[in-house]
Structure 1
Amino acid sequence: MNSVNTNVGAMIALQQLNRTNTELQEVQSRINTGKRINSAKDNGAIWAIAQNQRATSSSLNTVKESLSRAVSTVDVALSAGESISDLLLQMKDKALAASDTSLDTAARSALDADFQSLRDQIRKVIANAEFNGINLLKTAAASLTALANATGTKLTVQSQVLALGGSKITITNGAALSSASVASTMVGLLNTSIANVSSSLSSLGTASKSVTQHLEFVGKLQDTIDAGVGNLVDADLAKESARLQALQTKQQLGVQALAIANGSSQVLLGLFR
C-alpha cells in the first residue's frame, strides 16, 4: 500500500542501520580494549569464569612473595650454617694442636685464645642469621611457614638450632683448651658437632631447593592461568579488523538504503500532477 503516513521500507532500513551501528560499536570496543568480553553483559558465564581465574592469579602474587621471603630466610640460615661449619673445622684444628702433650703453656694458651675467639664468632654468626625477623638457627627457633597455594595451604621448613651447648653443637659457651686432655676430649665433641651441623645444612639445602622449585612452579602456574583467561576474553584483532571494514561498508549502504526509502514517498507526488 502506498502511504505517506507509514513508510515500511524506511522502518526496515532504519532497523537494519541501528543493528549495524550496534555491531560497529561492539567491534570498536573490542579493538579499543583488546577484549572480546569486557563485562558480564557481554557473556555472563565466561566473564564469571575469567573473573574467578583472575582472582586466583592475583592471589598467586601473594603466594610468590611469601615463598620468596621463605627462600631468602632459608638461604640466610644456610649461609650462616656454612660459616659455622667452617669455624668448627678451625676449632678442631686448634683443639687437635692443643692436645699435643709436648706443647708448652704459652703455645697452648695461644691456641686456646684462638679457639675461644672462634667459639665466640659462632655466637655472633647465629645472632645475625636473621631475615625478616626470622632466625632458624637460634635457640628455641620456630619452624618457618610460607603460603604454598592460593587456598592458604602452608609449606613448612624445619628450624635447625645450632646454638652452642645444644643437641647439635655440643661444645658449651665456656669451652676452652685448658689442658692437653681437655683438648683431646674437645676434638671428639667437635667431630660430633661437625657431623651434626653437616646434617642440618643438608636439611636446609634440601628445603631451600624445594621452596625454590615450588616458587618456580607457582610462577609457571600463574602464567598458565593468565594465558587461559586471555583465551577466554581476548579478542582476535585480525578478525575484528576485517569485521570492522565489513560493518563500515554495511553502515554506508544502510544510510543509502534509508535515504532511498525516505524518498519513496516523494514519488507519490507525481500522481497528483
Structure 2
Amino acid sequence: MASILTNGSAMTALQNLTATIRKLDETQTRISTGLRVGRAEDNAAYWSIATTMRSDNGALSTVKDALGLGSATIDVAYTGISSAIDAVKEIKNKLVAARQPGVDRVKIQSEVTELQRQLTSIGNTSVFSGENWISVDSSEPGYSNTKTIVASFSRSNEGISIGTITVSVEDIKLYDAADQSGILDELDTTINGGEDYSVATLDITQLSNSESDIADLEQMIAWVDLAITKMTTSAASLGAVKQRVSLQQDFVSSLMAAITRGVGALVDADMNEESTKLQALQVQQQLGIQSLSIANQNSQNILALFKG
C-alpha cells in the first residue's frame, strides 16, 4: 500500500544505512587505534585480561630497572674487591721482601703504608647510588647485613609476589667501622707480645732480625695471605650473584616480550582484515545512501497521481 504517512522502504533503507555507518565507525576506530578490543564494551573479558597484563608488564619494567641498578651495585663492589686483591698482593710481596735480613724495613713500610691508603680509598669510593657494600658501619641505625635486589614480579590465585636476590654483606665487606670485622680491618691477635694488627694497619718498622720478630713477620705474611683468600672467595660470590642477576634480566626481558605478544593476540586488530572491511563498508554506505534516496522519491510518485 502506498502511503504519504509511512514510507516503509525509506525506513528500511535508513536502518540499513545506520547499521552500516555504525560498523564503519567501529572499523575506522580499529584502524586508527590498531586495537580490536580498545574498550570494555568491545569484549569485557579480553579487555580485563589485557588491562591486568599491561599493568603487570609495567611492574616487570620496574623490576628490570631494579635489576639493572642491582647489577651496577654488584659490579662496583666486585671491582672494588678485585682492586683490593691486587693491592693486598703487593703488600704480601713487600712483606716477603722484608723477610730477607738486611733490608730496610722502614722504606718497605712506607710502600706498604701507601698501599694501605690505597685500600682505604678503594673501600670509601666503591659506592653506587649511595650504596657501599665493602666499607660499612654496622652501628648505623637501620643497617642490615644483607642486601636485597628486586628480581621478579608474579601474579597467582594467592595474590601478588615479588622475588628478590639476597647478597650477604658480612661475607664481602672489607671494612666495618663499628667493630673491625671486615676482611682488611679484622685484627690478628696471635702476634707474639706485640699490638694486635690488621692488614690495614700492620707496621713492620719496629721488627728486627730476632727469631721472635721474624716469626711475627711470617705471621703477618700468613694473615695477609688469608685476607687474599677471603677476598677471592668474596669476589667469586659476587661474580656468581652478578651472573644470576644477568640471567634474570634476560628472563624478565623475554617475559615482557611474551606478555606483550599475548596481549596483542587478544586485542590487536588485523589491519589487513580491517582495511578490507573498510572498503566494503564504504561501498555499502554509498549504496545505502542511494537506496534511501530512491525510497524517498516514492512520495513524489504519489503526488504525480493527483496531477491532471
- TM category, shorter: over 0.9
Q: Which residue of 2 aligns with 1:114?
A: 111
User: Are residue 197 (structure 1) and residue 194 (structure 2) matched?
Assistant: no
Structure 2 match to 1:75: 75
TM superposition shift of 1:252 = 0.7
Aligned match of 1:163: 175
2:20 match: secondary structure: helix
1:137 aligns to what? Answer: 134
Alignment-derived partner of residue 249 in structure 1: 283
CA distance in 1, matches of 2:218, 2:107: 16
Q: What pairs up with 1:152-231 in 2 under 5 angstroms?
A: 152-159=162-169, 160-163=172-175, 166=181, 168-169=183-184, 170=186, 171-178=198-205, 179=207, 181=214, 182-231=216-265
Instruction: Check conservation: 1:9, 1:261, Cα contact below 8 A.
Output: yes
1:64 aligned counterpart, secondary structure: helix
Structure 1 unmatched ranges of 5 or more = none
The root-mean-square deviation of aligned C-alpha atoms, in Å, is 1.7
Cα deviations by residue, 1:5-32 (Å, 9 ceiling, x for unpaired): 1111111110000000000111111111
Shift of 1:177: 1.7
Deviations 1:5-61 (A, max 9, x none): 111111111000000000011111111111111111211111111000110011112
- Give the secondary structure class of the aligned counterpart of 1:152: strand
Higher strand residue share:
2
In structure 1, distance between residues paired with 2:10 and 2:112 = 104
Partners of 2:151 and 2:245 within 8 A in 1: no
- Whether the aligned pair in 1 keeps the contact of 2:64 and 2:252 (CA below 8 Å) is yes
Letter aligned with residue 166 of structure 1: S
The more displaced of 83-92 and 37-46 is: 37-46
Q: Which runs of 4+ in 1 moved over 6 A?
A: none
Residue equivalent to 2:157: none
Letter in 2 for 1:257: S
Q: CA deviation at 1:230?
A: 1.5
1:125 aligns with 2:140: no
Shift of 1:142: 3.0
Total equivalences in the alignment: 270
Q: Does the residue aligned with 2:65 lie in a helix, a strand or coil?
A: helix
Measured in 1, the distance between the counterparts of 2:152 and 2:219 equals: 49
1:66 Cα offset (Å): 1.1
- SS of the equivalent of 1:23 reads helix
* TM-superposed deviation, 1:172: 4.4
Q: CA separation in 1, counterparts of 2:199 and 2:231?
A: 15
Gaps of 5+ in 2: 139-143, 154-160, 187-197
Higher share of residues assigned helix: 1
Q: Name the counterpart of 1:56.
A: 56
What is the identity, as a one-letter code, of the residue corresponding to 2:173?
V
Aligned to 1:42: 42
Q: 1:270, CA displacement in angstroms?
A: 4.2
**Is 1:67–1:147's contact at 8 Å kept on the other side of the alignment?**
yes
CA contact (8 A) 1:83 1:125 kept: yes
Task: Report the Cα offset of residue 194 of structure 1.
Answer: 0.8
Superposed CA deviations along residues 96-115 of structure 1, whole A, max 9, x for unmatched, are: 000112x24xx221111111
SS where residue 135 of structure 2 aligns?
coil
| Partners of 1:70 and 1:144 within 8 A in 2 | no
Separation of aligned partners in 1, 2:64 and 2:48: 25
